C-alpha cells in the first residue's frame, strides 16, 4: 500500500507537473491559426467577388482568374469545414451554420464554374450577387465563431486549472488523470480516423479531377514509364488506360524524331541536371497518337515526390483547331490589307486619270481667255477657272494622301527664311479674307532665325490652316503668330511654334480628333456652307509628323479656333550674302518646230493651240507609232511625248526615235499625269530630257521652251552623255552661302566616297548593295552630280533584278565617274 501510495503520489506529482507545463504552454501558445483561417475565408470570398467584377466588366477577358479564386475558396472552405480544427477546439456546433452556408454556396455554383465559358459568363452576375451576400454572412458567422472560441478557451483554462489543483490535493486525481489519459488516447484515435478520412477524400477528389479533366493528363515515373493515363488522354492518343500503364511514354506519344531528345532529358533530370521543360509553364510541341498522326499540343509539366521517387505530371491540350483558327485569322487580315491597298491604288489611279481631262479643260480655258471676251463671257470664264482650280485642289489632296501613305512624299532640307516664307504665304490670302470681311494679321514678336527645313511642306501646312481659317471666319480676325524657342537638347535647334488663330465658328471638343481624319468634316452634310474634301488637316498632320512635329487644336463651338504647328528645326549655318540665281528672261531666237505625240484628242488640240499661241509650229501624232514615223522623217526641235498610249507607248516610242532617224538628237519631254514617273527607274536611261506633269498652262510651256538650251544637241543618248555636274542645281546651292555649301560638299564627298568604296567591294548579290546604291544616288542628287546620279539610279534598278552579270556591268563605271566628278568639284572650287 505504501509503495502504491508512493507510486500514486509520484504519478500524481508527475502528472501535475506535466499538466502544469501544458497549462503554461496553453497560455503562451497563440490561438491565431483558427481565427486566421476563418477570417481568410472572408478574404477569399472578397477576392472571388473582385475577379467576378473584373470578368463582368471585360466580356472578352479570360475566366481563369474566376475559376482560380473559386477553387481557392473551395479548398479553404473544405479544409475549415471538414478538418479537425473545429473539433479540436470544440467549435463544431458554433461553426455549423457557417459551414452549412459555405457548402450551399459551393454546391450551388460548382457546376457553373466547371461548365463551359459561355455558361459561366452568363452566370457571372448571379454568382457575384451570391458571393457578395456570402461575404457578409461569413463576416457575421466568423465573429460568432471567434467569440465562441474565446469563451471556450477561457472555460477550458479554468477547468484545466481546477483539475490540476484537485489532482494535487486528492488521490482521486490519479484516477482522473488515468481517465484523462484514456480520453486522450480515444481522442488521438478519433483524430487519426479523421485524418484517414481526409486523405481518402483528397484522393477521391484528386482522382475525380484527373478523370473529369478536359485536358489529357499523363503521369510518369522518373524513367518515363506511364503510371496514370486519364480518359481525356485515351481519347486524344487512342490508347486504353490499361494498355498505356507501365509503357514508356516515348513509345506512346513522342514523335520518333524527338525520342532521343526526350530520353536525354529524362536522364539529365534523374542525374539532377537542368530542367528545361518541367516547371517552365506552357510550351508548344508536337505529339503522336496511336495511328502515327502528329498534331500540335500545348504542354505543361509539373513534378512531385511519389512513393518510389520523383513523378512527372503532364497536362496536354490539342491545339490543332486553335492553330487553324489562327491561320484563318491571319489570312483574313492579309485579305483585308490587300483590299485596303487595292482601294488606295484605285483612288490614286483615278486621281491621276482625272488630271488628263483637267489638263485639257484648264488649258482650253487659258486659250479662250487670250481672246476678246465681253463682260458676261469673262464672268463665266472666271467661274469655270475657279471651278477647275477647286477640282484640281481636290485631286491634288487625294494624290497627296496617296503619296504620303506610300512613303513617296519626301521632305527637303534647305535654308528657310521663316519670316519671308510666312509673308509670302499670308499676302495672297488677304484679298480672299477681305472678301469675307475678315482681317489677316501676321505677328512676329521677335525676329525668326534662318533654319534648315522644307519650305514647300511648311507652306503647304500653313496654306491649309489659313485656307480653313478664311473659309470658316466671316467678318472677324485671323492672327498668324510665329515664335522660335531655343532648345538645349539637341544643340543648334529651335522649337518653332506657328499658330493660326481665328474668331470663326469654332469646333466642338468632341470633334477635335475627328477633323484630322481622312475625308472627315465637322459638317459632312450636303447643305454645309463651305466645300472641301476633308483632307487638308489630315495631310497637314501627316506632313508635320513626317518632319518630326505635331499639329494641335484648341477650340470651342462659337468661340473661334487656334491651330498650332510645333516643329523642332535645326538652325541654318551662318551664311554669307546670298546672290540670287539669274533667271533667263530673253525670248527664243526663232520659233521651234514641235511634234506633239498624244492619243487624247482634247490634249492634242490644247497643246497645239498653246504652242501656236507662243509662235511655234506644231505637228500632231495620234499615237507612238505615228510619232516615231514622223520623227524619223523630219528633224523636230522638240518632241512632247505622252507616256500612256495604245499600240506603242511613250517609253518605246522614245527609244525608237533615239535609235535612228532625223530627230534622234532632238529634245524629248515626257508629258504625263503621273508626277511620280520621275522616280521610275527607267526614266534615267529612257532617252527623255525632262518631264512635264499635267495639267499644263501656257506659262508652263513657255518656261520649258525658254530653258531648252542649244537645239538639236545630243542629250538623251544615255547616262554617260550627261554632264558631270548640274549647273542649275549648283546655282541653287550657292544661295546657301560659302560656309554652309562647303560643309554640305565635305559631308557629301565623305558619304559618296564611303558608298562607292562599299559598292566596289560588295558582290553583285550582296543584300546591302541595293541600300548602298540608293543612299549614294540620294547624295549625288543633292549636290548636282548629274551623270553619277543617273548611273547610280540605273544600277539601283538592275540590283532589283537579281542578275549578277547585269548588276556588275551597271556598277562598273561608278568608281571612275565619281573620281571625275570629285575632280570637277574640286577644280571649280565647289
In a domain, 584, yes or no: no
Find the distance separating the first CA and the last CA of the chain, reported in whole Å.
133
Q: Assess whether 642 and 527 both reside in one domain.
A: no
Among 40-44, 192-196, 427-431, the range of highest mean pLDDT: 192-196
For residues 408 and 99, the model is more confident at 99
In a domain, 218, yes or no: yes
Name the residue with cell 486504353.
240
Q: Assess whether 626 and 748 both reside in one domain.
A: no
Q: Confidence band (pLDDT; 50, 70, 90) for 528?
A: very low
CATH code, domain carrying 273: 3.30.450.20
Long-range contacts of 80-89 (CB under 8 A, 24+ apart): 80/37, 80/38, 80/41, 82/198, 82/201, 83/194, 83/198, 84/191, 84/194, 84/195, 85/33, 85/34, 85/37, 86/34, 87/190, 87/194, 88/191, 89/31, 89/34, 89/149, 89/152
For residues 698 and 618, the model is more confident at 618
The pLDDT of residue 725: 80
In a domain, 92, yes or no: yes
Q: Assess whether 221 and 260 both reside in one domain.
A: yes
Q: Where are the alpha helices (DSSP H) in 255-300?
A: 259-270
Among 91-105, 180-194, 483-497, the range of highest mean pLDDT: 180-194
Could you give the number of structural domains in the chain? 6
The pLDDT of residue 739: 54
In a domain, 123, yes or no: yes
Residue ending a domain, choose from 181, 210, 239: 210
For residues 309 and 588, the model is more confident at 309
647-661: per-residue pLDDT in tens? 888 888 998 998 888
Average pLDDT (20-29) is 56
Residue ending a domain, choose from 404, 432, 451: 404
Looking at the whole model, is its pTM more than 0.85? no
Enumerate residues 6+ apart whose C-beta is below 8 A from 187: none
313-355: per-residue pLDDT in tens? 888 988 888 888 888 888 888 888 777 666 666 665 665 566 6
Q: Confidence band (pLDDT; 50, 70, 90) for 673?
A: low
The pLDDT of residue 584: 32
Range of the structural domain that residue 634 is part of: 593-688+707-715
CA distances in angstroms from 101 to 37, 46, 92, 106, 296, listed in the order given = 16, 16, 14, 9, 45
Q: Assess whether 230 and 280 both reside in one domain.
A: yes
Residue ending a domain, choose from 262, 295, 318: 318
Name the residue with cell 463651338.
557
Q: Assess whether 292 and 235 both reside in one domain.
A: yes
The pLDDT of residue 596: 93
In a domain, 697, yes or no: no
Q: Assess whether 387 and 472 both reside in one domain.
A: no
65-109: per-residue pLDDT in tens? 888 888 888 888 888 777 776 776 667 777 788 888 888 888 888
Give the closest residue to 476 by CA, choosing from 429, 439, 443.
439
CA distances in angstroms from 299 to 293, 311, 315, 319, listed in the order given = 17, 16, 6, 10
Q: Confidence band (pLDDT; 50, 70, 90) for 710?
A: very low
Q: Assess whether 157 and 281 both reside in one domain.
A: no
For residues 626 and 518, the model is more confident at 626
- Measured CA to CA, the distance from residue 401 to residue 540 in angstroms comes to 10
Q: Assess whether 10 and 132 both reside in one domain.
A: yes
Burial 84-95 (b: 16+ CB within 10 A, else e): bbbeebebeebb
Phi-psi domain of 775 (left: phi exceeds 0; alpha: psi -120 through 50; beta: other):
alpha
In a domain, 580, yes or no: no
Average pLDDT (300-316) is 82
In a domain, 577, yes or no: no
Phi first, then psi: give them for residue 287, nearest 5 degrees: -115, 170
User: How many other CB atoms are found less than 10 A from the CB of residue 368?
Assistant: 15
Q: Assess whether 601 and 637 both reside in one domain.
A: yes
Q: Assess whether 304 and 332 both reside in one domain.
A: no
Q: Assess whether 799 and 675 both reside in one domain.
A: no
In a domain, 587, yes or no: no
Cell numbers linked to 362: 484648264
Q: Assess whether 204 and 219 both reside in one domain.
A: no
Enumerate residues 6+ apart whose C-beta is below 8 A from 521: 515, 528, 532, 534
Amino acid at each position: 500500500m505504501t509503495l502504491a501510495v508512493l507510486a500514486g503520489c509520484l504519478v500524481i506529482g508527475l502528472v501535475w507537473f506535466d499538466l502544469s507545463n501544458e497549462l503554461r504552454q496553453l497560455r503562451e501558445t497563440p490561438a491565431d491559426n483558427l481565427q486566421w483561417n476563418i477570417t481568410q475565408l472572408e478574404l477569399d470570398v472578397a477576392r472571388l467577388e473582385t475577379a467576378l467584377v473584373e470578368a463582368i466588366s471585360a466580356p472578352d477577358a479570360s475566366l481563369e482568374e474566376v475559376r482560380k479564386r473559386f477553387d481557392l475558396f473551395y479548398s479553404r472552405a473544405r479544409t475549415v469545414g471538414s478538418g479537425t480544427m473545429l473539433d479540436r477546439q470544440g467549435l463544431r456546433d458554433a461553426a455549423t451554420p457557417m459551414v452549412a452556408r459555405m457548402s450551399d454556396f459551393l454546391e450551388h455554383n460548382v457546376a457553373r464554374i466547371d461548365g463551359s465559358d459561355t455558361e459561366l459568363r452568363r452566370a457571372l452576375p448571379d454568382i457575384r450577387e451570391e458571393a457578395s451576400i456570402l461575404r457578409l454572412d461569413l463576416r457575421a458567422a466568423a465573429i460568432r465563431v471567434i467569440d465562441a472560441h474565446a469563451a471556450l478557451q477561457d472555460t477550458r483554462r479554468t477547468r484545466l486549472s481546477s483539475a490540476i489543483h484537485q489532482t494535487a490535493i486528492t488521490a482521486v486525481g490519479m484516477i482522473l488523470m488515468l481517465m484523462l489519459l484514456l480520453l486522450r488516447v480515444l481522442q488521438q484515435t478519433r483524430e487519426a480516423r479523421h485524418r484517414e478520412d481526409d486523405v481518402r477524400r483528397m484522393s477521391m477528389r484528386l482522382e475525380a479531377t484527373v478523370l473529369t479533366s478536359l485536358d489529357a493528363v499523363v503521369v510518369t515515373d522518373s524513367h518515363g514509364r506511364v503510371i496514370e493515363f486519364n480518359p481525356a488522354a485515351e481519347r486524344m492518343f487512342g490508347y486504353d488506360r490499361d494498355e498505356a500503364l507501365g509503357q514508356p511514354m516515348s513509345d506512346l506519344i513522342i514523335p520518333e524524331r524527338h525520342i532521343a531528345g526526350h530520353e536525354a532529358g529524362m536522364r539529365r533530370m534523374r542525374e539532377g541536371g537542368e530542367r528545361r521543360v518541367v516547371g517552365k509553364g506552357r510550351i508548344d510541341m508536337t505529339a503522336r497518337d496511336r495511328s502515327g498522326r502528329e498534331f500540335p499540343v500545348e504542354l505543361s509539366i509539373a513534378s512531385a515526390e511519389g512513393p518510389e521517387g520523383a513523378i512527372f505530371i503532364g497536362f496536354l491540350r490539342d491545339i490543332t483547331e486553335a492553330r487553324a483558327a489562327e491561320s484563318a485569322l491571319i489570312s483574313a487580315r492579309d485579305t483585308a490589307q490587300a483590299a485596303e491597298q487595292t482601294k488606295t491604288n484605285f483612288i490614286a489611279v483615278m486621281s491621276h486619270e482625272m488630271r488628263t481631262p483637267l489638263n485639257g479643260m484648264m488649258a482650253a480655258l487659258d486659250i479662250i481667255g487670250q481672246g476678246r471676251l465681253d463682260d458676261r463671257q469673262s464672268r463665266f470664264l472666271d467661274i469655270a477657272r475657279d471651278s477647275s482650280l477647286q477640282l484640281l485642289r481636290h485631286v491634288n489632296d487625294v494624290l497627296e494622301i496617296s503619296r504620303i501613305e506610300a512613303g513617296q512624299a519626301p521632305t527637303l532640307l534647305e535654308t528657310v527664311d521663316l519670316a519671308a516664307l510666312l509673308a509670302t504665304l499670308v499676302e495672297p490670302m488677304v484679298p480672299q479674307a477681305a472678301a469675307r470681311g475678315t482681317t489677316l494679321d501676321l505677328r512676329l514678336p521677335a525676329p525668326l532665325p534662318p533654319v534648315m527645313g522644307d519650305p514647300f511642306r511648311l507652306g503647304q501646312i500653313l496654306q491649309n490652316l489659313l485656307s480653313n481659317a478664311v473659309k470658316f471666319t466671316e467678318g472677324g480676325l485671323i492672327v498668324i503668330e510665329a515664335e522660335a524657342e531655343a532648345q538645349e537638347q539637341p544643340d543648334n535647334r529651335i522649337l518653332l511654334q506657328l499658330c493660326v488663330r481665328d474668331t470663326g465658328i469654332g469646333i466642338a471638343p468632341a470633334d477635335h480628333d475627328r477633323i484630322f481624319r481622312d475625308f472627315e468634316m465637322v459638317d459632312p452634310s450636303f447643305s454645309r456652307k463651305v466645300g472641301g474634301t476633308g483632307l487638308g488637316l489630315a495631310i497637314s498632320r501627316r506632313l508635320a509628323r513626317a518632319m518630326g512635329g505635331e499639329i494641335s487644336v484648341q477650340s470651342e463651338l462659337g468661340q473661334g479656333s487656334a491651330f498650332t504647328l510645333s516643329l523642332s528645326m535645326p538652325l541654318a549655318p551662318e551664311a554669307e550674302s546670298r546672290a540670287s540665281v539669274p533667271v533667263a528672261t530673253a525670248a527664243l531666237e526663232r520659233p521651234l518646230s514641235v511634234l506633239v505625240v498624244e492619243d487624247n484628242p482634247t490634249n492634242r488640240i490644247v497643246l497645239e493651240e498653246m504652242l501656236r499661241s507662243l509662235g511655234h509650229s506644231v505637228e500632231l501624232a495620234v499615237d507612238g507609232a505615228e510619232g516615231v514615223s514622223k520623227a524619223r522623217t523630219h528633224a523636230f526641235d522638240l518632241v512632247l511625248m505622252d507616256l500612256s498610249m495604245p499600240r506603242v507607248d511613250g517609253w518605246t516610242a522614245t527609244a525608237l526615235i533615239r535609235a535612228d532617224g532625223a530627230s534622234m538628237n532632238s529634245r524629248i519631254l515626257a508629258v504625263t499625269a503621273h508626277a511620280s514617273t520621275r522616280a521610275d527607274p527607267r526614266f534615267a536611261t529612257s532617252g527623255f530630257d525632262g518631264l512635264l506633269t499635267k495639267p499644263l498652262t501656257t506659262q508652263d510651256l513657255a518656261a520649258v521652251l525658254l530653258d531648252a538650251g542649244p537645239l538639236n544637241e545630243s542629250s538623251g543618248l544615255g547616262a554617260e552623255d550627261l554632264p558631270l555636274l548640274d549647273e542649275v542645281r549648283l546655282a541653287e546651292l550657292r544661295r546657301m552661302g560659302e560656309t554652309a555649301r562647303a560643309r554640305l560638299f565635305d559631308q557629301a564627298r565623305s558619304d559618296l566616297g564611303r558608298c562607292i568604296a562599299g559598292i566596289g567591294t560588295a558582290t553583285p548579290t550582296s543584300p546591302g548593295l541595293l541600300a548602298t546604291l540608293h543612299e549614294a544616288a540620294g547624295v549625288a542628287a543633292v549636290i548636282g552630280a548629274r551623270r553619277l546620279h543617273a548611273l547610280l539610279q540605273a544600277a539601283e534598278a538592275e540590283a532589283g533584278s537579281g542578275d549578277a552579270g547585269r548588276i556588275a556591268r551597271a556598277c562598273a563605271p561608278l568608281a571612275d565617274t565619281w573620281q571625275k566628278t570629285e575632280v570637277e568639284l574640286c577644280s571649280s572650287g565647289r
